[in-house]
Structure formats: structure tokens, C-alpha cells
Amino acid sequence: MSGAEVRLEGLGKRYGEVRAVLPLDLVIEGGTLVTLLGPSGCGKTTLLRMIAGLEQASEGRILIGGRDVTLLSAGERNVSMVFQSYALFPHMSVLDNVAYGLVSSGMPRKEAHAQAEAALETVGLKGFGTRLPSEMSGGQQQRVAVARALVLKPDVLLFDEPLSNLDTRLRRSMREEIRALQQRLGLTVVYVTHDQSEALAVSDRIVVMRNAAIAQAGTPEELYTQPDSVFVATFMGEANHVQGAIERSDGGQAQVALGPLRLALPDRGLPTGRADIVIRPEAVRFAVDGEAGLPGTVARATYMGSHSEYLLDTEVGTLFAVIPDRLRRREVGAQVLITLAPDGVMLVHD
């Protein structure tokens, strides 16, 4: 099976005066995993629930595989959803849970159970069918929820923060399993999370949302290396936000002044003058002897084993730095010269 394309056209949601999702356009290609990422209250779950048919769109259209489903109820849409709480039916056995959708669609019970067994095998739970959900661990319940959604061969599979109830270690392995399953079966998956590392790990594309609108959409690498805004930069990993100036720009390259440093960066269409700059912590380095640099003072130094973390006071502001040098550690109060690796420094829009 292969997943269908999801196309949102001017889709928006309003509760009275409150806008939960501003009208937006988005295309999710068939067979890809797209993450909706954002802080709580940004509208990502509402967007997901509109695709599922659990919320009514206030405006715009939803097309799944080219079919307009905007007015269809959830059951008529051929989408499945994995819920944050898993929503396993506590009074039914695991097998009945997984077979529920098939039986609902009118499949004879025997056949439905056979397919449910197969789906349980896919998620590595062969032989657990007779148990009740309450007799399984959190990770196992999660797999049952995935199997229950998968068995219907949906056009689109929706995940609503599926890993937030698991502990850190389990979360890591579950997200890899979900990703592997999605790639093996070629599913279209829309995945809601507020955890950026989860998003980076599983996604083909990430849609960062903020204040009921899309802040930026792109591949994980694009979002990390070319964030449009301070918000996206800081949301996709750690970032220092400082102000510099664009001295001149031509051919898409800008010469940027940051204290005594001069950096050549892609200008991203910004005019000359004051500019917002974000700096990844791992792009901050200490100057090699004789190299020119931004003078600073070590305000805090934390030894982390594999690397050290520093807070450095400079004329452009305090910088957070992650430096993998385990041999030459700087003490608090030390005067240092700082240089920046250009691939970790970006001009942004606000």
C-alpha cells in the first residue's frame, strides 16, 4: 500500500472570536512523514483533528488523494489516528481492539481477527491478542494503538503526540520503530509533536507552527540550517539571538559585521542595516593563537564529559557555547577570543 497525498487549501478553524488555526495552505506528499511541530496552543493538534474529521473546518478545503473530504465525517475519510492517550478500549481484548475498525467496516469477524493478528505481528506483539489493554505496559499499548490504526490500511495515518506518555529511553526506540514502519509500508503520516528532537529524528518534512499559523515548513536540515525566524531557530535546537549589521550585499552574499568579526553569510533577501542573527552554540569556537576574534569573558563553565558548555559575555551579548575541547578548559573569569563557524550562523527575519 502507498499513502495518499493530503492537500489543505485555505484551511482554518475559528471558535467564536478565537482563531485556533488561521487559513493556511499545505501539501503533504504521499508516502512521506510530515511533522506538525510547535509549542502548546499553536494550533497543531486542531489542524490534525481537522484532517481526521474530529473537528469541523470553519473555512477552506481538505483533499485526501484528490478527494474533497471537508464535509465528510471522520469514519468516511479513510484516515486513522493514534491518540496521545492511545484510547484503547479498556473493556475489549487487544485483538478486539485491533479488529474493531475492520468489524466496523463490515468485515466478517473471523477474517478481521486474522488480519488483526497479522497487524499485531507487524508491531511485534504476536500472541498478545487475548490480553486486556490494562495488562500491558505503556510501550506495548502504544504498539497496539499503532496496529489498530494500521490494520485499516488508511490513506493517511495521524499521530497526536504518540510518545509523550513514555519514558525517554522507550520514546527513542518507539520513534525509530514508527519511522521504520512508515518507510517500509510507504505510508503518509502526519505527526504532531512539541519535541523538536523527535521531529528531527522521524520527519521527511517539518511544519513549524506558531500562533495558529505556519512559521516555516521544510526538511529537518533546511529548518535547522536555514531558519526563517528567531522563533524557528530557537525552537529547532539551541540558538543565540544577537544583533549585527549588514554592511553590503551582492549576489546573495552579505557581509555582516558582528563586533569586530566580519562574516560572509547568505543575505536571504534582507536589506543593509541592522539585522537579526542567530548563532548555534556549536558554531562558537575559541580563536586559535594569533587569529582575530570577538573578545569575551567566561561567565559560567560547565563540564559535561564529552564537551563543555560556556556562557560568554561579549559586546554583542551573552553567548551560549558548546565546545568539544576536553583538554583546554577555560575557567570562569578567563578572557577569551571567539570566532564563529559560518555554517552555524544565520541571518533571520525578525
Partner 1 sequence: MRLRGSLPAWLIAAVGAAVVPWHMQQDGLSLATIVGFGQHDPEAASALWQAAAHGRFWFWPIVAGLLLALPGALPMLPRPARALWLLAGGGFGLAALVVQGLAIGVQGWSWPWLEALFGPLDDRQFGIGLGGAMTAVALLLLVTDGFALRGAFKGDRFVAGAVGVLAASILLFTAWPVATVLMQMFTPRDDLSAWAALADRVVDRKIWGLACVTSAAGCGVFWNTLVLATCTATLTTSLGLAFALIVTRTRFPAKRGLRLLTVMPIITPPFVIGLGLILIFGRSGVINQIVEAVFGLELGRWIYGFNGILLAQAFSFTPVAFLVLIGVVEGISPTMEEASQTLRATRMRTFGAVTLPLMLPGLANAWLVSFVESLADFGNPIVLGGSFGVLSTEIFFAVVGAQQDFGRAAVLAAVMLVIALFAFVLQRRVVGRRSYVSVTGKGDSGLPPTLPAPIRRAAYAVAIPWACLTLVVYVMALAGAFVRVWGRDWTPTLEHFRRAFALEWTANGTLLFSGGAWHSLFTTIELAVIAAPITAGLGLLAAWVLSRQRFAGRTTLEFALMLTFAVPGTVIGVAYILTYNVPPLEITGTAIILVACFVFRNLPVGVRSGVAAMSQLDRSLDEAAVTLRASTFRALRTVVLPLLKPAIVTALVYSFVRAMTTVSAVIFLVSAEYEMATVFIINRVINGDYGLAIAYCAVLILLMTLATGLIQLLVGNRRLGRRGVVAAPAPVGGRV
Residues that bind partner 1 (CB under 8 A): 52-56, 70-76, 79-81, 83-85, 87-91, 100-101, 104-105, 132-135, 148-149, 152, 158
Question: 172: burial class by Cβ within 10 Å (0-12, 13-18, 19+)?
Answer: middle
What residue type is assigned to position 315 of the chain? E
Q: Which residues pair with 311 in a beta bridge?
A: 300, 320
Helix (H, G, I), strand (E, B) or coil at 273: strand
Nearer to partner 1, 78 or 226 (CB): 78
Nearer to partner 1, 53 or 293 (CB): 53
Q: How far is CA 278 from CA 121, 204, 223, 264, 315, in A?
A: 47, 24, 13, 14, 15
Smallest separation (angstroms) from partner 1 to the CB of 166: 17
Smallest separation (angstroms) from partner 1 to the CB of 155: 12
Smallest separation (angstroms) from partner 1 to the CB of 160: 8
Q: Is the C-alpha dihedral spanning 2, 154, 80, 9 positive or negative?
A: positive
Contact (CB, 8 A) for 200 and 224: yes
Give the C-alpha separation, 124 to 145, whole Å. 12
To 5 degrees, how large is the angle CA 63–CA 65–CA 68? 30
Following CA atoms 229, 234, 239, 241 in sequence, which dihedral angle do they give, to the nearest 10 degrees?
Answer: 50
Smallest separation (angstroms) from partner 1 to the CB of 134: 4
Give the C-alpha separation, 46 to 194, whole Å. 14
Nearer to partner 1, 44 or 148 (CB): 148
Give the C-alpha separation, 195 to 259, whole Å. 34
Smallest separation (angstroms) from partner 1 to the CB of 116: 12
Nearer to partner 1, 73 or 243 (CB): 73
Nearer to partner 1, 71 or 304 (CB): 71
